[in-house]
Amino acid sequence: MTQPHQASTRSSHQPALAWFAAIGSAWVFVLVTLGAFTTSIGAGMAFPDWPLSNGSVNPHGWLEDIAMFAEHSHRLSGTVMGMITLTLALWLWRREPRPWLRRLGWAALTIVIIQGLIGGKRVLLDALAVPGFDMTLGQMLRIPHGILAHLYVCILFAVAVSLTRHWRVTAIPVRANLRWAGVTCTLLLIAQLAIAATMRHNFAGLAIPSFPYSTAEGDWLPATWNFHIGIHFAHRAMAVVLTVALGWFAWRLWRDPGSTLLMRCGASLVISLLALQILLGAHIIWQLREPHVTTAHVVGGALLLATTFTLTWLAHRDLIEARSPSA
């Protein structure tokens, strides 16, 4: 008997599936925003249990207490994200003839499941000390939880973009150096977000309390060094590297004859988001990690990664389709 996804060997545009994937890509930023705000106000342990919250799916008083609201909203939005991802993976399996796209759907679902388990273990193992470390095992799990979230964003956007009519009908014969510029910038952004997650969850956001200088006397390098100062300084140094790299990528996009209007607009968005990130990063220091500014900075980082990755994915469109079997 023919499998559902083998009924056709040709990929045709499916508007309902494309819109559903786009909605999922938008919803992920609701999840990222609530997760970032929960971390920013230190509300990750507002409830000591999991998967329920104080033993209930609707804990008493969660709408009146900001910490409870942040954490429970994050859990609820994560549940919705899980259902969206499950539906998307099954829909792709049933209706999408491209094997690589079906595999991306299963990869997204796998990450969502892992994310849920890590989030739960972060709560349940919060009191388990790790010899030689200041953080407990549960607190350590916040770091991979944050990193995996950004990898999930990339996969979700890859699925959504690959389902659009633009992807199906537009040939994008861009130069190889543009593709490599995008890959380089995407990897640098993932590294930066990993550094940021490590810094944030080690409470090193104000380890260097001045900006743009590293000391009150106007020195570029810190006067003393420890882990917290080192990881904070690494975040600033990587920001300088990314400023150059993303500027180079945007310039390549603007100049490449194969770039579409959409890609050139995306290049302008990358530069705008980069400038906003630098401004928000400065205000985090100047406003002593005000939660709303810190949350905006985290969300901005996710948006910058999503935009850069999407442009890179589009630049590889012809290679992806040419090297993949149709069924």
Say if 6 falls within a structural domain. Answer: no
Return d(Cα 205, Cα 282) in angstroms, integer: 11
Same domain, 144 and 34: yes
Number of domains in the chain: 2
Same domain, 18 and 95: yes
> What average pLDDT does the segment 221-242 reach?
97
Return d(Cα 216, Cα 42) in angstroms, integer: 28
Work out the pLDDT band at 2, boundaries 50, 70, 90.
very low
Give 123-132 pLDDT, tens digit per residue.
999 999 998 8
Same domain, 165 and 220: no
Same domain, 70 and 134: yes
Return d(Cα 192, Cα 42) in angstroms, integer: 22
Same domain, 327 and 248: yes
The residue range of the domain holding 118 is: 14-169
> Residue 324: which of 30, 12, 97, 38 has the closest Cα?
97
- Predicted confidence at residue 325, as pLDDT, reads 58
Q: What is the CATH number of the domain that holds 230?
A: 1.20.120
Tell me the pTM.
0.92
Q: What are phi and psi of 96, to 5 degrees?
A: -95, 120
The residue with greater pLDDT, 269 or 165, is 269
Return d(Cα 230, Cα 232) in angstroms, integer: 5
Answer whether 272's CB lies under 8 Å from 308's CB: no
The CA–CA distances, whole Å, from 112 to 20, 82, 136, 198 equal: 17, 6, 23, 21
Task: State the CB neighbour count (10 A cutoff) for residue 182.
Answer: 24
Give 289-317 pLDDT, tens digit per residue.
999 999 999 999 999 999 999 999 999 99
Same domain, 178 and 163: no
Answer whether 162's CB lies under 8 Å from 324's CB: no
> Does 3 have pLDDT greater than 60?
no
Of 169, 194, 217, which residue sits at a domain end? Answer: 169
> Does 178 have pLDDT greater than 80?
yes
Same domain, 43 and 153: yes
> What average pLDDT does the segment 3-21 reach?
69
Q: What is the longest distance spanned by two Cα atoms in the chain?
A: 75
Say if 9 falls within a structural domain. Answer: no
The pLDDT > 70 percentage for the chain reads: 95
> Does 327 have pLDDT greater than 50?
no
Work out the pLDDT band at 9, boundaries 50, 70, 90.
very low
Return d(Cα 231, Cα 238) in angstroms, integer: 10
Give 48-77 pLDDT, tens digit per residue.
999 999 999 999 999 999 999 999 999 999
Same domain, 228 and 210: yes
Give 233-254 pLDDT, tens digit per residue.
999 999 999 999 999 999 999 9
Same domain, 126 and 177: no
Same domain, 217 and 324: yes
Work out the pLDDT band at 323, boundaries 50, 70, 90.
low
CB neighbour list of residue 257: distance below 8 Å, 6 or more residues apart: none
> What average pLDDT does the segment 198-214 reach?
95
Same domain, 193 and 126: no
Answer whether 130's CB lies under 8 Å from 137's CB: yes
Instruction: Please give the single-letter amino acid code of residue 65.
Output: D
Give 26-52 pLDDT, tens digit per residue.
999 999 999 999 999 999 999 999 999
